[in-house]
Chains A and B, each alone.
Chain A
Amino acid sequence: MADAVLPRVWMMRALYLGLGGVLVFVHLLPLDMMPPGWAGPNIFLALTFAWAVRRPDYVPLLLVALVALGMDLLLQRPPGLWAAITVLGLETLRNRAASLRDLTFAAEWAAVSSTLVVMTLAYRFILTILMVDQAPLGLSLMQLVATLLAYPLVALLSHALFGVRKRAPGDLDTVTGRA
């Protein structure tokens, strides 16, 4: 039984990596060179958190750190900082995942929202202290709100398409996987 379980976890991790690659690819497509008046959601973050709350073992720390660092480098952000903040947010949510398991989606959404808000504020705060050029505040806030709005959709899609669900007591891979 363990043979059937191990590949499933690794498959989901590979899928996560693949989704990250697709997101970078879509971001890099040279479609529009005009400075946008709006900012879309950070789907990668929503995806990471949605998975972290449901199945923390699908998003191991090292994998997330590597993907986030890669995104920092490719998407022209200050390298490392946003990745570090993402990892911190991930661990916060991972620690709360056990208690969130029995609560409603609204509670989960609230937890993710508060984490995201703190992350965005911390990011801008650190950049301001170190006097790094940063994007207009409006765009950052817009991205934050868009990410929060996109979160339920991302969670729903991961649930429906990829089968990322909360562990139920009777699940095969949770009970026998440890045995």
Chain B
Amino acid sequence: MAKDRGQSEDYSGPLKRLLLGVVLLCLLGLFLLWRIDSPRVERFRAQVVDRVVPSFDWAMAPVTGAVNIVRDFQSYQRMYQQNQDLRRELQQMKAWKEAALQLEQENARLLDLNNVQLDPRLTYVTGVVMADSGSPFRQSVLINVGSRDGIMDGWAAMDGLGLVGRISGVGRNTARVILLTDTSSRIPVTLQPSGQRALIIGDNSIAPLVDFIETPDQVRPGDRVLTSGDGGVFPAGLLVGQLAEDPGGRMRVRIAADYERLEFLRVLRSYATEEIETPGDLISPSSLPDAQPLDPAIAAEASNG
């Protein structure tokens, strides 16, 4: 055995070491390239995901369905208690419905008085969640609409109620939504009714941190959190959630979107951010008065004389 091992190392040892070196060089090179020029490598990643994940889809849907059935089945065991809870909730909802109807009528009256036109460009594309990020350290989901459907980086994704996240990484058939809870998520928001500006910072917990509040004295738990549209990141006024205070005394936002059941996401088309592609021109009249071309004959005479 020992002799055998020695022999095999004799001729394959250096070769293997060379291979190891080359492989390490490639991998670390890719990592450095990613660190230096992230968008390009991320686009490559989006293409890989776009190619690989849809091919899993045929198996993913049934498996996910089966697991959900098992979970639902477990919840049957608590049926009676759930029924009671639902009845109680329904009772509360009726009260809310009444309030909502009154508000809707009032809103319609006010809109009528103001003659307001709602922005017709705020339309949306709906996508189905295909996969999640697959790691406990990253909070993102993959949806089944992509550049084919006109999705662009930076658009907002919502469920029916509130903001869910931001498109980051678009493949042909898929797009990745970075959730508000991801550690790399930063969203500018307004806190109503005080109108304070702040930033929502994801920290891998279900309630992201609210930081950089201008005057923290003016906000209190229960305030509504809406996107502010600062920096052209999102359209203004999308509901994010409610402010809450954690035991440590820091402000956090209780997200309105139902993160436990993300199934369909709306991606809002927002063309609000205009891109400036050319450097500015000099401001000058389009035609100058003395700019007629010289007659070639006159020019020749002038040079002779």
With A29-B60, A61-B19, A76-B140 as contacts: A169 and B1 at CB distance below 8 Å: yes
Cβ-defined contact, B59 with A25, below 8 A: yes
Q: How many residues of A contact B (CB 8 A)?
A: 46
Cβ-defined contact, A28 with B19, below 8 A: no
Contacting B262 at CB < 8 Å: which of A33, A79, A133, A143?
A33
Stretch at the interface among B47-55, B223-231, B274-282: B47-55
Stretch at the interface among B79-87, B118-126, B131-139: B131-139
Q: Which residues of B in the span 56-85 have a Cβ within 8 Å of any Cβ on A?
A: 56, 59-60, 63-64, 67-68
A39 contacts partner chain B, Cβ-Cβ < 8 Å? yes
Cβ-defined contact, B56 with A28, below 8 A: yes
Cβ-defined contact, B28 with A139, below 8 A: no
**A85 nearest in chain B by CB position:** B27
Kindly supply a per-residue 1/0 record for chain A positions 14-42, scoring 1 wherever the CB is within 8 Å of any chain B CB and 0 otherwise. Answer: 00000000001101111111111011100
* Inter-chain contacts of A38 with B (CB < 8 A): 136
B161 contacts partner chain A, Cβ-Cβ < 8 Å? no
Contacting A87 at CB < 8 Å: which of B27, B31, B64, B135?
B27
With A33-B179, A136-B204 as contacts: A77 and B20 at CB distance below 8 Å: no
| Residues of chain B having any CB pair with chain A under 8 Å | 1, 4-5, 8, 16, 19-20, 23-24, 26-31, 34-35, 41, 45, 48-49, 52-53, 56, 59-60, 63-64, 67-68, 129-142, 179, 181, 183-184, 203-206, 259-260, 262
With contacts A33-B132, A39-B136 known, what are 8 further pairs, Cβ within 8 A? Answer: A31-B67, A33-B141, A61-B19, A75-B134, A76-B134, A77-B135, A84-B31, A143-B136
| Residues of chain A having any CB pair with chain B under 8 Å | 24-25, 27-36, 38-40, 61-62, 65, 69-70, 73-81, 83-84, 87-88, 91, 98, 130, 132-136, 139-140, 143, 169, 178
